[in-house]
Homo-oligomer: A and B are copies of this chain.
Amino acid sequence: MRALIFDLDGTLVDTVYAHVFAWQRALAESGIAIEGWRIHRRIGMSGGLFTRAVTRELGRDLSPEVAVTLQRRHGELFAQLLPERRPLNGAVELLRFLRSAGVLYGIATSGRRPEINASLEALGVGEEAVVVERGDVLRAKPEPDLFLACQERLGVRVEECYAVGDAVWDLLAARRAGMLSIGLLSGGYGEDELSRAGAFRVYRDPHELLGSLDELGVLP
């Protein structure tokens, strides 16, 4: 195995709960009541897919204007709620180790620039890193496009990549991309949810993944 492709929110940075809460408030402001746990289990989809999922859950249509307002308000509230970005336990060390060991890695996220810039900065990920974001592909997770675009830019074959994520959408996208996947509990899913969705291994957080690279056949 030559490369690791990471999801960002909930996998490398501790942003999931702020996203859940920002979505819940944005929806409440538009008079839409969606329960926290239902939002949580949909984090990691693109914002567009998310609002469509909400529409189906409500059983009524959201106008395109409301959908746009919701995404904008989510972004505003998220920035207010979480002014700083905090890497998850071991995330900075894991990426640093991969660089020093010559293991390829990239980041493939349903988030967009410029919103994700603060997270990349907190992780110490520089301009040289391969980062594929929502705007780079036509379709976000659970479509495989983000992972495949990242794999192509890394210049490795699909069979040589692990996709690493905290959500079942990451694992579904990985399967569809033909990649093995690794689940992390740091986004708040249960271990069994991630295993059943196809994760080859599940670790608590980036720190435990760093300590387990030997058993993944990643190190030379």
Number of copies: 2
Contact A33 B86 (CB under 8 A): yes
| Interface class of chain A by DSSP | helix
Q: CB-defined interface of A180-220 with B at 8 Å, one 1/0 digit per residue? A: 00000111111111000000000001000000000000000
| Count of interface residues, chain A, beta-carbon cutoff 8 Å | 32
Contact of A17 among B14, B36, B88 (CB under 8 A): B36
Instruction: Output the least CB separation between A165 and chain B (Å).
Output: 14
A21 at the interface (CB under 8 A from B): yes
Q: State how many angstroms separate the Cβ of A195 from the closest Cβ of chain B.
A: 9
Q: Are A21 and B186 in contact (CB under 8 A)?
A: no
CB-CB nearest in chain B for A10: B37
Evaluate contact between A37 and B187: CB separation under 8 angstroms: yes
Residues of B within 8 A of A86 (CB): 33, 35
CA distance A129 to B19 in the complex (A): 36
B187 adjacent to A190 (CB under 8 Å): no
A110 contacts partner chain B, Cβ-Cβ < 8 Å: no
Does A20 interact with chain B (Cβ within 8 Å)? yes
CA distance A78 to B130 in the complex (A): 39
A89 in contact (CB, < 8 A): yes
CA–CA, A10 and B16, complex, Å = 18
**Contact of A18 with B36 in the complex, beta carbons under 8 Å:** yes
What does the 1/0 interface line of A87-126 toward B look like (CB < 8 Å)? 0110000000000000000000000000000000000000
Using A190-B189, A190-B191, A191-B190 as known contacts, say yes or no to A35 and B14 having CB atoms under 8 A apart.
yes
Flag if B16 contacts A18 (CB, 8 Å): no
A-B contact pairs, 10 of them (CB 8 A): A10-B37, A14-B36, A16-B36, A16-B37, A17-B17, A18-B21, A18-B36, A21-B21, A40-B188, A192-B192
